[in-house]
Each structure stands twice: as C-alpha cells, then as structure tokens.
Amino acid sequence: MVEFPWPAGAATGIGSLPGTDVAEAQRVVFGELPDLPHLPELPARGPGADVIGRSAGFLVELPVQLYAGRWQMAPRPGKDLRRTADLLERDLDQMTEQGDGFAGTFKVQAAGPWSLAASLDLQIGGRVLRDPGAVRDLTDSLAEGLRRHVDDVRKRLPRASIILQLDEPSLPAVLAGEVPTESGLGAYRVIDAPDAATALRTVVETVGVPVVAHCCAPAVPLQVFRDSRAAAVALDLSLLKDLDPLGEAIEAGLGLFAGAAPTRPPSDGRALTGKQVAERVTKLWTRLGFPAARLPEQVIVTPACGLAGATEPYARAVLAACREAGQRLAEA
C-alpha cells in the first residue's frame, strides 16, 4: 500500500493568489487550507513575482535580467535579480511568522525546467530551449537552487514536512514542438518524452522531498511525469479527455491533485460550494472505478489552476470550498 506524503482529506492551492498584500495572502492560506497550506505567489507585485522571474531567481550561478519586458540570461546579477530575491525574502519572513509552530505538510512551488527553458531568452537571442547544453545547465542549476530553497523553508518551519510543486504549463507544447520562435514563423525542436522525463527526474532526485508535477494545460503528459518519479500530478479536471492514462497512473500509485474548483466565477459570480466541488471529484473517481476508501488518501482537492486573475473574495471562497470538499471526501 502506497503511503502518501500528505494528510487524508486535505486541500491546497495551486500557487498564485490575487493582490499584493503578502501578510493577508498567507493569513488566507493558513486559515483556509490548514491541512496543506502553501507559499502563495502574488504576481500582481510585478516583475520578480511572476512565475518565470520568481523561478529563475532560484537558479544557481545563472543570473537573469529583464530586457524589453522579457526575462533573459544575464552576464552577472543585477537589480532585477535583487528585486526578485527581496520579494521572495519578504514571503519567507511572513511564512516564518505566520507558520510558527506549524507541524503539518507545507507546499512550495516553482516553474519546472522545461517551462523555464521555453520562456527564458539566451543573451544571443532565442530561447534557452534551442540549446541542449543550455537546457542541461539550467536544469542542474534549478535543481540545486530548489534544493537550497527547500532547505531554507525547512529551517524556517522545522516541524513541517515539505513538498515541492513543479509547474510545467509549457511542457505539452515543448513535447509537441509547438513553442514558437521569436519571428513566429517557426517553432523550436521537439523534445522527446524520455529526455523530458530525465530533466524532471534530475530535479526530483536532487530536492530530496516529494514532488508534485503540475500542468493545467490540455494533454497533460502523464507518462513523462510518472517516469520523472513525481509523487503526484496536479491537473485541471475540466480539461481531461481520455481517462485511461490517468487511471493507469493512479493504479500505479501516483497521487492526484484534482483541480475541481473553477478559477473564474460562473455567470452568477459565486464560487462552487464545497459539496459541488466534492461531487466533481467523486464523479471522476467513480468513473475511474477505484474503491471509495482510496479517494481521500490519494487525492488532494485544489482549484483548477492559479487564482491570480480572480478577485480576492472569490479566491478566498474557492479555497474554502476546496477545504470543505476535502473534508466531505474524508467523511464519506
């Protein structure tokens, strides 16, 4: 029997939240998601708080800078990297204060190597993705940087168990050879699935904590995530088309972070209730044909994706609904 590195019946957020108030965002997370809180990201604060800039800030000895509104590799650390580090430090200080005494499971997030490679520019032009050697260097650097980040979080929350979420929204396009070049007239080379899994596995094996592979795009590459030795996959349930690969992955022991609560409100402006979110997850589980008793242990309830584009009241309501859904699933 697989033992999962999170409490049964838990819920968590994917990462981003609206607004710029770090203290309030973390109060919301610790308050609404007490069984599996996470380090929230607030991209509305600007460059360095966005997922690419923030994640590139973890790179070791591979500095980045902003150039014409895009992140690119830099010859030396500069003001953009200092701002990124300062934003993260503020987040970690608030986490340390509000998480004082926390003894449960805590999640941190960062972009994975393929989404970074598809988004970061080389100094000579083009994306890192165009250069296999640069991709390897970036992967190794990210793996070491995230290991240090996890260690820092562990020191600040010494009683907590840490898990890492790797965000790979660009991975389906990378695997399909659909990442456009700067001119828009072509696309970068196709990356083979085994090579994609190898890079992810480098990060998984280096950080030393369970890893959740997240992709809220269509065509989630489940086999790549399984081959990377991730402990779980996070995805948007509304985008699922073929259930067979997911069923095989769950049967093999992969955890599921089920994105069941919409990140944008329906026409009436109200978030789904906890009961409605729980029903979405239960319906999927029933279609997959697994025993009900396994559901609360193997599945974590989450929003469909990040909540940066939502209003603050809606984001709070979504997290509350996810928490209630998790409790309902545990009690069913």
pLDDT at 1: 62
For residues 22 and 98, is the Cβ–Cβ distance under 8 A? no
Q: CA-to-CA distance for 300 and 314, rounded, in angstroms?
A: 20
Collapsing DSSP to helix, strand or coil, 190 comes out as coil
In order, the DSSP letters of 306-324 are --TTS-HHHHHHHHHHHHH
Q: CA-to-CA distance for 263 and 74, rounded, in angstroms?
A: 35
Task: Encode pLDDT of 255-265 as tens digits.
Answer: 999 999 999 88
**Residue ending a domain, choose from 181, 208, 230:** 230
Decide if 118 is inside a domain: yes
Decide if 4 is inside a domain: no
Statement to judge: residues 136 and 171 lie in one domain: yes
Tens-of-pLDDT digits for all 332 residues of the chain? 678 999 999 999 999 999 999 999 999 999 999 999 999 999 999 999 999 999 999 999 999 999 989 999 999 999 999 999 999 999 999 999 999 999 999 999 999 999 999 999 999 999 999 999 999 999 999 999 999 999 999 999 999 999 999 999 999 999 999 999 987 788 999 999 999 999 999 999 999 999 999 999 888 999 999 999 999 999 999 999 889 999 999 999 999 999 999 998 877 778 899 999 999 999 999 999 999 999 999 999 999 999 999 999 999 999 999 999 999 999 97
Statement to judge: residues 253 and 222 lie in one domain: no
Statement to judge: residues 245 and 224 lie in one domain: no
Count up the domains in the chain and report the number: 2
Decide if 3 is inside a domain: no
Statement to judge: residues 148 and 276 lie in one domain: no
pLDDT at 122: 96
Statement to judge: residues 302 and 323 lie in one domain: yes
Listed in sequence order, the residues at least 6 apart from 17 whose beta carbon sits closer than 8 Å to its beta carbon are: 25, 28, 29, 40, 41, 42, 306, 307, 308, 312, 315
Statement to judge: residues 252 and 193 lie in one domain: no
Statement to judge: residues 178 and 300 lie in one domain: no
**Residue ending a domain, choose from 230, 246, 262:** 230
Q: CA-to-CA distance for 215 and 268, rounded, in angstroms?
A: 28
Statement to judge: residues 74 and 165 lie in one domain: yes
**Residue ending a domain, choose from 168, 199, 230:** 230
Strand pairing report for 64-67 and 70-73: antiparallel
DSSP secondary-structure letter at 228?
Answer: T
Decide if 1 is inside a domain: no
Statement to judge: residues 100 and 184 lie in one domain: yes
Decide if 80 is inside a domain: yes
Statement to judge: residues 162 and 250 lie in one domain: no
pLDDT at 10: 97
Establish how many alpha carbons lie within 13 A of residue 192's alpha carbon, considering only the half-sphere containing its beta carbon.
Answer: 4
Decide if 41 is inside a domain: no
Statement to judge: residues 191 and 315 lie in one domain: no
Task: Encode pLDDT of 171-196 as tens digits.
Answer: 999 999 999 998 778 899 999 999 99
Q: Count other C-beta atoms under 10 Å from residue 78's C-beta.
A: 13
Domain span at 250: 10-36+237-332
Decide if 56 is inside a domain: yes
For residues 23 and 94, is the Cβ–Cβ distance under 8 A? yes
Decide if 198 is inside a domain: yes
Statement to judge: residues 68 and 148 lie in one domain: yes
Listed in sequence order, the residues at least 6 apart from 241 whose beta carbon sits closer than 8 Å to its beta carbon are: 218
